Each structure stands twice: as C-alpha cells, then as structure tokens.
C-alpha cells in the first residue's frame, strides 16, 4: 500500500480550519445552553448573556460600542447589508451616488451593479494602479453632492494588496460621507480599530480567521443611518431580523480574540515564509510576475502570473502533489473568465489566465514552502511545453502574445 499523501494547504484566503479552542467554546451552546436569546426564561437569558459577552469581546477589539456590532450570516451578508442598507436610507434625501473600486469581492461589485441597474443609483468605479492600489485623491475627486457611500476593501482577496484606508477616511470624513470597508480578508491579520482606520462600516467573516463558516459581523457606527434588509422580529436592535445563532456568535468572538492576541507573532512568522516563497518562485520560474503590491500586502499572501499557461493547469498539477491552492478568489475560481481584479490592474486576458494564489496559515511550515518551490518550476515547464502560446521548438512566446 502506498504511503498516504500529505496535504499542504496553501488556500487560507479561501477558508481556514476551525481552531479547536473555538470548537470547545462553541460546543456547550449546541447542547447545554441551547436557549433562544429572545426567551425570558433562564435558558433564554443564558443564551442572551453569551451573545452580549461575545458582542463586547468583538467591540473591544474593534474599539467601538457593543451596540455598533451586528451579527450576520457571513461576510457577504455584511457587505450586502452595509451597501443596500445605507444606499436606500440615503436615497430618502436624494443621495443616489455610490463610489467603489473595480477590484472588490463580488459581494460588493454585484450588489453595486444591482443597485445601479434595478434601483437607479449611479456608481463610480475608482481606478487602481498596477499593484491594485487606489489613490486616495481619486476618492476626493469622485465625491459629489449626492454621494451616499464610499466602499473600498481593506485588503484584496486575490492579490493581497492593502489599501490606504486612513488616507481615504480623512477625505470621506471631511465630506461627511459614510465609509465602508470589506475587511473579510484582513480580519485575522490586520489592525481592526475602527477609529484608527476611520471607517464607519466594516464587514468581517469568521471562517477567514479560524472560526466557523456561516457567521459574520457588520460594524456600523452609531451615526450612520441604514435600512434593515431582513424584516421580522426586533433582533439586533431591529437591524437584522432572525433568531440569533448563539453557538456561532460565541465562535466568531472566540476566533477573533485568538487572532487578535496572536497577531503580531504569527504575522512575523508568516511574513518570513511568504517572502521566502515569493523569492523562491520568482528566482526559479522564468517569465513570472508577482501580482499585488510587493510590500503593502497581507502577511500570508503570495500571488503570481505565469506567462503562456493557464492557472487551472497549475492547480490540478499541484493538487496531484497534495498542494491546495487557488487561481484567485474561491468564489470565482471555477469561472473561465479572467479575474476582474487582474483586468483592473492592467493584465491582458492571456496573461491574467495564468494566475496562482498561495496563501499561508497556522499550519504552514518552512518544509511546505520548500516543497512548493521545488515542484512548481517543473509543473510550469511541463505546461508551457504543451501550451499553444509557446513555440515548442524554441520555447519562446508566439508573436501574438508578445
């Protein structure tokens, strides 16, 4: 019998395993403390107390009031609630202009498209440079009298670039415009203090920082007006109707607390692994580019484009070796269309198709990085030998690609 193949998981941007300590914190609320937080009896009070303790834990990390923390079903719902909720509330006073970027997660971009096509809002998409960075001055130039909301992601899920939120916030605050950030990809590794960031709304999702899937948070500053998108009971101070998911609420608070407490040391470890991985790939694989900002990027994120081949081929070959990776966002990696993020950064389709995202995590080791650096060059070489974009005899790109 052959030896069992080891799995090397380098897709932590897609999801993370639940930390055993988080599972331990959640377990009693599936069995012993199973009450509905809206019930008046002692089982309900136990559940309500657990929820409010979790809310306070998250508020302490975000530097906000507990009442500004809203529990949702996921990061996508948090994004949807922020955008639609603020947009519809602001439309009452005639403000129907929204500002965002072309590199947002589809939870933002598809919602913006719907608000524009179905509800008559106007959306301005700010350009990004070749690293995926938004110029804060472009935000100021785009703001109009009828601007209702600005939404710029904290860190990109495909290439890891971190935005200058503080600089953008100075502009939105001076103009009195609500500022939202999708912080789903940044939640486990970057500063989340909402006052230091200057944001008025922020979306988070537990499964990106070793919590359970199916629970998210929307921070909404008290002065920001928005409409609830779910109607029913008076849950979450009438902002998000639906019986609260107490085990998962306990889980997201436990996971965020663990991530916050261990952030500095874990980031240092991951940055060292990330930089070694990036340098090793660039040194050993010709015609390869790093995507995203070289330094202003998430601690665990390494992303590349390999000329003349498609990322799906790389993924399949890595998977056969036990390596889990991605060609971009996990929500769109099955699509045959090139990444909208890569397109916005100026990569032509034939190059954008050759993308690879390697994202490290708690279980990643130096040996894992060495394995990928050692095996990736052979995979790329094999794929280029059969690529229709390369002359197989001279191993040079065909004229159409140059």
3-state class (DSSP) for residue 295: coil
Among all residues, which ones are annotated catalytic?
Answer: 331
- Of residues 158, 153, 103, 161, the one with CA closest to residue 127: 103
Beta bridge partners, 304, equal 290, 356
Task: Note whether 258 and 21 are within 8 A (CB).
Answer: yes
For residue 366, give the H/E element and its range: helix 366-385
The CB density around residue 51, as the number of other CB atoms within 10 Å, is 20
Q: Are strands 201-205 and 355-359 parallel, antiparallel or unpaired?
A: unpaired
Q: What are phi and psi of 233, to 5 degrees?
A: -80, -175
- For residues 212 and 301, give the distance between their C-alpha atoms in angstroms, rounded to a whole number: 21
Tokens of 56: 């306070």
Beta bridge partners, 162, equal 155
Measure Cα distances from 40 to 36, 46, 48 in Å: 9, 10, 10
Tokens of 255: 């996971």
Measure Cα distances from 231 to 79, 131, 237, 308, 335 in Å: 17, 41, 12, 51, 34
- For residues 242 and 288, give the distance between their C-alpha atoms in angstroms, rounded to a whole number: 48
- For residues 280 and 289, give the distance between their C-alpha atoms in angstroms, rounded to a whole number: 12
Tokens of 331: 């929500």
Our separate counts of H helices and E strands in the chain read 14, 14
- Of residues 10, 6, 2, the one with CA closest to residue 274: 10
For residue 346, give the H/E element and its range: none
| CA dihedral angle for residue 140, residue 146, residue 149, residue 150, rounded to 10 degrees | -20
- For residues 351 and 103, give the distance between their C-alpha atoms in angstroms, rounded to a whole number: 17
């Amino acid at each position: 019998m052959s030896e069992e193949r080891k799995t090397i998981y380098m897709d932590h941007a897609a999801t993370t395993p639940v930390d055993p300590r988080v599972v331990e914190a959640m377990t009693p609320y599936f069995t012993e403390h199973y009450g509905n937080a809206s019930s008046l009896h002692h089982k309900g009070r136990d559940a309500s107390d657990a929820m409010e303790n979790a809310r306070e834990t998250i508020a302490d990390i975000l530097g906000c009031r507990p009442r500004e923390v809203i529990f949702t079903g996921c990061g996508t719902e948090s994004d949807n609630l922020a955008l639609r909720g603020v947009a519809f509330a602001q439309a009452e006073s005639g403000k129907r202009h929204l500002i965002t970027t072309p590199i947002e997660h589809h939870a933002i971009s598809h919602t913006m498209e719907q608000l524009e096509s179905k509800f008559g809002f106007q959306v301005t998409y700010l350009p990004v440079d070749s690293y995926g960075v938004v110029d804060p001055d472009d935000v100021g130039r785009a703001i109009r009298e009828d601007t209702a909301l600005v939404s710029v992601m904290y860190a990109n899920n495909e290439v890891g670039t971190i935005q200058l939120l503080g600089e953008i916030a100075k502009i939105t605050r001076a103009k009195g415009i609500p500022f939202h950030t999708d912080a789903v990809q940044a939640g486990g590794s970057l500063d989340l203090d909402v006052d230091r960031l200057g944001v008025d709304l922020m979306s988070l999702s537990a499964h990106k920082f070793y919590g359970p899937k199916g629970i998210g948070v929307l921070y909404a500053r008290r002065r920001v007006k928005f409409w609830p998108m779910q109607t029913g009971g008076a849950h979450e101070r009438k902002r998000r109707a639906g019986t609260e998911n107490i085990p998962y609420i306990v889980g997201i608070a436990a996971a965020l607390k663990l991530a916050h407490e261990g952030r500095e040391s874990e980031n240092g470890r991951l940055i060292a692994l990330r930089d070694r991985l990036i340098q090793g790939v660039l040194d050993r694989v010709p015609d390869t580019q790093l995507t995203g900002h070289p330094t202003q990027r998430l601690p665990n994120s390494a992303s590349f484009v390999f000329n003349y081949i498609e990322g799906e081929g790389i993924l399949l070959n890595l998977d056969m070796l036990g390596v889990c990776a991605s060609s971009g966002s996990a929500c769109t990696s099955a699509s045959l269309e090139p990444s909208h993020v890569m397109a916005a950064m100026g990569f032509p389709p034939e190059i954008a198709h050759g993308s690879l995202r390697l994202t490290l995590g708690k279980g990643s080791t130096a040996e894992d990085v060495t394995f990928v650096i050692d095996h990736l060059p052979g995979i790329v070489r094999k794929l280029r030998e059969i690529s229709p974009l390369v002359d197989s005899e001279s191993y040079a790109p065909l004229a159409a690609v140059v």
